[in-house]
Amino acid sequence: MSDTTISVEEFRQEARAWMEANLQRRTSGSGHTRPETVEALVEQRALQRRLFDGGFAGISYPAEYGGRGLTVRHERAFNEEARRFVVPDLGVAGHVTMGPIGRSIVAHGSPEMKARHIPKILSGEELWCQFYSEPEAGSDLAGIRTRATRDGERWILTGSKIWSSGAHLADWAMCLARTDWSVPKHRGLTWFAVPTSAPGVTVRPIHQINGNAEFCEEFLDEVEVTDDDVIGEVNRGWAVTQTMLVYERGGGGAGGGRPEPRQLAPDLVALARRVGRTDDPAARQAIATAHIHDYAQYQLRRRMAARLRASDKPDAAIAAYSKLAAGVLTPVRARLGLEVGGPAALTWAKGDERGGRAALDYLNGRIVSIAAGTNEVQRNGIGERVLGLPREPSFDTNKPFDEVLRAARNWDSRAGAN
């Protein structure tokens, strides 16, 4: 049967049969720790390869680059079936590789670049990370200062990046650099594919208070790349950024492909059982609230994904709705976990991964309201670009970027008022 005609239900059955034959069933005891070392990833990469060889990696990626060329609905069906099986976990690097990075390369990379990287991405051979934030440019992403200078056939990259999730585990980075300083900040930007092992790249994990080192800072010291490594067009990197942000914010295929939360908040139900509160009205109320939030987010994501698919160009402001919902509701849900677990959720035996989940979710709950753009940035985007509200006053949007930096260096109250 041709893949272009396979129905979602037929595909679901094919996927289920393949999983029965090729994957282990998930059991209540199949606890799993996210891979945080290169060594821990070896097994997960092998499992990803098995998926790829079976035709179940990159279900909504183009078939000519190793994907299956199907729809997000097919992908969702696969994900729903896969909940009962042990599937690869390539950690945070895997998440960004298959999501924003792979999709941006498909949308903007040259045919040669796609042929070079996409099959390796889908088979788990290449893991990528994102080098966009800098110590002085986070929300103001267009204000980055990493420089790429042309030198004959080569580009030379110099600068520093920060908060790059999974960079210590990644083989490549998608790196944003400034290639023209004489134009306003949103122009003159270019994305490059940079091997993290290239001479001149230093990757340093940042150790967090919870003991994890999930993201890193990097220093780029005269790193050489070539025209072949340019993703999209030189100086038109902002167009690539829009695609990247749509997927980064959970839009497009990524958001629409997530399974329906059919079961009543399973993590909270398990927690209530563990602490003996399944009959407690307050705990039941908290579980019901969490389920309502899960469903509301699921429906919103689907609706936004459909709007994004119908649109002729990537619209990061539409994707901002789902991102904002996640940024607002994730901390609320994490708090509900603590309400269900009570004091018992605050202590757990060393090595008991599940025991600590509610407390760690609570501590990590704010991540989603910052990573991939803060709640305030999403609200600005929705307000200005979807609802048509007045734009924030800006002193630098239309000035050549080198002039903005010069003015900032010589800043006084008169320059600031310009």
Strands (E), 153-200: 154-165, 172-178, 189-195
Catalytic residue flag (residue 248):
yes
Nearer to ligand FAD, 330 or 380 (CB): 380
Longest dimension (CA), the chain: 72
Rounded to an integer, what distance in angstroms lies between the CA atom of residue 75 and that of residue 72? 5
Nearer to ligand FAD, 171 or 280 (CB): 171
Nearer to ligand FAD, 18 or 132 (CB): 132
Shortest reach from residue 166's CB to ligand FAD, in Å: 7
Strands (E), 241-389: none
Note the residues at the interface with ligand FAD (CB under 6 A).
129-133, 138-139, 163-165, 215, 367, 370-374, 376-377, 380, 392
Closest residue to bound ligand FAD by CB: 138
Shortest reach from residue 379's CB to ligand FAD, in Å: 8
Q: How far is CA 92 from CA 37, 130, 169, 220, in A?
A: 12, 11, 9, 22
Q: How far is CA 297 from CA 263, 268, 328, 330, in A?
A: 15, 17, 11, 10
Rounded to an integer, what distance in angstroms lies between the CA atom of residue 329 and that of residue 102? 27
Q: Which one is catalytic: 10, 248, 260, 339?
A: 248
Shortest reach from residue 342's CB to ligand FAD, in Å: 28
Shortest reach from residue 142's CB to ligand FAD, in Å: 12
Q: Could you say which DSSP state residue 134 is in?
A: B
Torsion of CA 309, 312, 317, 323, to 10 degrees: 20
Task: Write b or e for each residue in 238-268: b if 16 or more Cβ atoms lie within 10 A of its Cβ, otherwise e.
Answer: bbbbbbbbbbbbbbbbbbbbbeeeeeebebb
Shortest reach from residue 136's CB to ligand FAD, in Å: 8
Nearer to ligand FAD, 163 or 238 (CB): 163
Task: Name the residues annotated as catalytic.
Answer: 248
